[in-house]
Structure 1
Amino acid sequence: MTERIWEDLLSEQDKQVITKAGYDKEGASSWESRGLGTNPMVLVIDMQRLIVGENEHILDAVEEYRTAMGHIAWEAIEEIQPFLSFVREHEIPITYTRVVPSSYDDPTHPDLDIVDAVGPEPGDTVIDKSYASAFYGTDLLSRLVRGGHDSVIIVGNSTSGCVRATAVDAKQNGFSVLLPQECIFDRIEASHKIGLLDLWMKYAEVLERSEVQAYIEESIA
């Protein structure tokens, strides 16, 4: 059973609302927010040097890049690496995004590179974006439709920013959304936990990485 990492933030009333209103079993009442799909694409969100930083405490990492998350990112990378290997073994397509800030005139600047530890391999797709959502101003929707995909599995960062924006847009475009929680991260712990809670209640299924892999083996392989 999934360990809900946000439980420690909830009051007793919060827990009762979630249970009594059925969010723990059904998610949002206005649409199917817990569907898993049968033909997913994996989206790897913004695993770039200026966001990941060095494998050191975040307070040290931000001295080089103010956006870097240091050890927080690298703890997630330890989960993302085996997960990407697993989905490649099962021939699930992977699309990476890179955010290109307006402050960078050169989109090939090394700061914007995806870190080697979870970098793309031949056959993977890389999409550049200017805003939070991987859908905004890109051809991601067309790629999903052309590939006959009914769902996305999202890893990367940040939970409260680009992951959230991408998950919401995916749901609004009719795709099921699945989040392996150990493979997602944010610089602020509260933002991470609350972001996952909000997404779980309204837009996505949130599971542990092992549960996502079991789902893939049972339902897709």
Structure 2
Amino acid sequence: MTKRIWEDLLTEQDKRVIEKAGYDKEGASSWESRGAGSNPMVLVIDVQELIVGDNVPILEAVEEHRTAMGEIAWDAVDRIAAFLEFARGNDIPVSYTRVVPSSYDDPNHDDLQIVDPVAPEPDETVIDKSYASAFYGTDLLAQLNRNDVDTLVVVGNSTSGCVRATTVDAQQHGFDVVLPQECIFDRIEASHKIGLLDMWMKYAEVLETDEVEAYLESMEHES
């Protein structure tokens, strides 16, 4: 059974509402908010130098880049790297996004590059974006439709920002979304936990990484 990392934030009433309203079994009642299809793609959200920073406590990391998360990010990066190796080994396609802030004139600036441990392979797509959602102002939707993708497995950051915005847009475009919770990170622990809770209740499957790997492995057996 998946360990729900947000449980320590819930009151007894919260827990009863989730159970009595059926969110723990079915998710949102207005649409099919949980599920996993037969043609997934992994999407790596904004795991870049200016967001990851040095492998130091976050209060030190922000001294160089105010957006950097330091050790918080690196803990997830290590898990993402292993997860991507697993996905590629099971022939699951992988794509990336990079956020390019308006304050950067050069899209090739070192700050904007994806960190080496999770760097894309030469044949993998990297989509530049200017806003939180990977869908807004990009050709991601066309790419997914062109490749008959029905499920996005989203990793990266931040839980409460770009991951959440992308997850909501993906669900509203008719895709299933799966979130391996150890491969997602945020600078604020409360935002991370609440973001995962909200997405689990309304928009996505939130699972432990080994559960997601079992799902991806099953795709190979079905093909």
TM-score, normalization: structure 1? 0.99
Q: Contact 1:34 / 1:204 at 8 angstroms: preserved in 2?
A: yes
Identical-pair percentage: 74
Aligned counterparts of 1:130 and 1:93: Cα–Cα separation in 2: 23
Hey, what does 1:152 align to over in structure 2? 152
The alpha carbon displacement at 1:158 in A equals 0.0
Report the 3-state secondary structure (helix = DSSP H, G, I; strand = E; otherwise coil) of the residue aligned with 1:42. Answer: strand
Secondary structure of residue in 2 paired with 1:2 = coil
d(CA) in 2 for partners of 1:150, 1:97:
18
**Residue of structure 2 equivalent to 1:176:** 176
Verify the 8 A CA contact 1:178 1:207 in the aligned structure 2.
yes
Is the 8 Å Cα contact of residues 38 and 220 (structure 1) preserved in structure 2?
no
- Residues 1:59 and 2:59 are matched in the alignment: yes
The residue type equivalent to 1:25 in the other structure is K
1:141 corresponds in structure 2 to 141
After superposition, where does 1:91-102 map in structure 2 within 5 Å?
91-102=91-102
For 2:217, the equivalent position in structure 1 comes to 217
What secondary structure does 1:54 align onto?
A: coil
Residue 157 of structure 2 aligns with an amino acid whose one-letter code is N
Matching of residues 1-221 of structure 1 within 5 Å: 1-221=1-221
CA RMSD of aligned residues (A): 0.7
Asked if 1 retains the 8 angstrom alpha-carbon contact of 2:39 and 2:219, the reply is: no
Unaligned 5+ residue runs, structure 2?
none
Distance 2:111 2:122 in 1: 21
Q: How many correspondences in the alignment?
A: 221
| Stretches of 4+ aligned residues off by more than 4 angstroms | none
Q: Secondary structure at the match of 2:85?
A: helix
Give the distance between the partners of 1:29 and 1:199, measured in 2 at CA. Answer: 14
Structure 1: state its 5+ residue gaps: none
Amino acid across the alignment from 1:102: S
8 Å contact from structure 1 (residues 51, 69) kept in 2: yes
